[in-house]
Structure formats: C-alpha cells, structure tokens
Chain A
Amino acid sequence: MRGRNGLFKYVVQMKARVTVTLKSGILDPQGKAIEGALRSLGVDGIASVRQGKVFDIELPDVDRAKAEATLREAADKLLANTVIENYRVEVVS
C-alpha cells in the first residue's frame, strides 16, 4: 500500500540486526581511546575494546531466508566496507 507521501508503506513483520565489526588485525584507534578512558575511570578487568556498529532494521518479510538475503545484500552494498569490516546478520523476531 502507498502512504501519504507516495512511498510504499511496509507492514513491519520482522525485526533484524546487522552488526558490523572491524576485522581482526585492523588498527582501531577509537577502540583504543575508549579502552584508555575505561582504564582511567577505574573500570578494571578489561583487556581490550574494539568499536563497531549496530543497525536495527525492520522488514516486511515473513520469509526468513528472503529477509536474510536482503540484509546480506544491504551489508555488502552499503552497511559494511568489507575491506576492513565483517558483518553478522540476525533476524531478531
């Protein structure tokens, strides 16, 4: 169906999460800075920190396989730079 702005309005059926993380071996200066800040805050027992991104995505699909394929396409085409990042796709509900 179309909404008032003329765009398709999807009925959300499924919630998913795409998690993007830096590949191992890629230096993460932001993670290092956070690690240092935690240490200076006195939060003990942390060996290392790597920063990543989380995308919460809603889909109209009820077909799990189709939804996962769409999410992988989204990650490959835009959400992750696969030169330096890995991603994980999970359908939450």
Chain B
Amino acid sequence: MKAAVLVFPGINRERDMARALRLVSGREPAMVWHAETALPPGTDLVVVPGGFSYGDYLRCGAIAARSPVMDAVRAFAADGGLVLGVCNGFQILCESGLLPGVLMRNARLKFICHDVHLRVERSDTPFTRGYNAGQVIRVPVAHGEGNYAADEDTIRRLEGDGRVLYRYCSATGEIGDMHNINGAAQSIAGIVNEGGNVLGMMPHPENHVEDIMGRTDGRGLFAGLVAHLDKAA
C-alpha cells in the first residue's frame, strides 16, 4: 500500500491517520500538502483526514475542496484510484463533488464526541472486506456537522445500488432514530461513489486500531484496504 494523506491548514487528525496506516500496512504514508498539484508517483490510496480545514469557514470542507491538490485527487479517483475521507475528509469529498449530498449541522445541534456502533452493510468492497456483512463495530465520532442529507433521488440511488457501507446502529445492530446520533438520512455513516472507489464516513476508524486505545475495531477497514491492494498488485 502506498498511501498519501492530504494535509490542509486546520486539519488535526492526519497524524492519527498516518499512524493507523503505518501500523496496519507496515509502510509510511506520504503526507501531501494541499498546495501540491500532483500526488506522489505510485500512490494507490488517498486519505483525506479529519479536522477543521480552514476553520470550517464558509461551510465545512468547502475551501479545502477547492484547493489545488483536489484536482489531482479528482483525476486519481476518475481513474479508479481508492480515496478514503474521514469526518472533515467526508465533508471535503462531498464539497468537491466526489461524493453526492452534504453533511449538515447535527439534528440536535450538539457536537458529538463519543464511541458509536456502526453496522457494516456489506463485505464485498475494498473498504469493508476486513469485516463481515452485518457485523457491528464500535468506533469514535467527533463532529458537529455529520447529518448526511441529499435529495430523494440520490438517497434512493444510494440505497438501490448498495452504496451505504456503514450505518449508525445499536450495540446489537438495530437501526432506528434512537441510534441515529446526528439525524443523518437513513442513519448513513458512510457511503461510496458510483464507482465504489471513493468512501466518505463520519466516524474515525483510525482511532480504534491499537489495544492501548481500548479497542481495535477500526483495523478491519485498513486491513481490508491492504488486502485489496496487495491482491491488485
């Protein structure tokens, strides 16, 4: 795996992400500054980490989505390259047009910072092959704007094409308003694009990858990506 982690002013989860990638893949990811116009040669995974790019000015992710490096990421994704956006990274991918919809203010207006349960909806994708379909994992969230919204057609298409990969749920995997922490449409925590090669998710799998963190539920996502890329190589 040759991962590239994008770095924008105001991002603060890039080192957690780099650590998780290093731990699971055994390789040091490249850190790529937002002003770059090209990705390092041989990049096979682009990661847009979490944080508060540009202080969330204007709209979350709006300014980062229009930075020079994102043109390179769009070309990389159009070519089938794997892109993972977490939290602010998800917001940036939506604002950049790589994913449909938008992340709105949490329905109950609170910044939510605690562990949540996610149901893995399918296991036959590069982003979920480290898990079983229906498996419940526990990872943290930390966001004020994670309330996924899109027009009815888009939601219907996402559901019809099986593009919702992660959903907020109870500890035993039930979906419902009670477990839908931020009011997201269809309890959506993570979706992929039409090509299935771009994932955006609000929760932070990179923060549950070592025993010292209390849990290792997030490892499966990275291990799955490593397995997918090793097989492709």
A79 contacts B58, C-beta separation under 8 Å: yes
Q: What residue of chain B has the Cβ atom nearest to residue A83's Cβ?
A: B102
Q: Check if B105 is an interface residue, CB within 8 A of chain A.
A: yes
B229 interfacial contact with A, CB 8 Å: no
For the complex, give the distance between the alpha carbons of A26 and B59 in Å: 16
The secondary-structure label for the interface of chain A is helix
Contact B59 A29, beta carbon cutoff 8 Å: no
B221 CB within 8 Å of chain A: no
Any chain A CB within 8 A of the CB of B62? yes
Of all chain A residues, the one with the shortest Cβ separation from B185 is: A27
Number of interface residues of B (CB under 8 A): 20
A33 to B62, CA, bound (A): 24
Residue of B nearest to A30 (CB): B105
A78, B101: Cβ atoms closer than 8 Å: no
Smallest CB–CB gap between A31 and chain B, Å? 10
Give the residues in chain A near B150, CB-CB below 8 Å: 83
12 contacting pairs across A/B (C-beta < 8 A): A26-B149, A29-B104, A29-B105, A29-B109, A29-B183, A33-B109, A77-B66, A78-B58, A78-B62, A78-B66, A81-B62, A84-B149
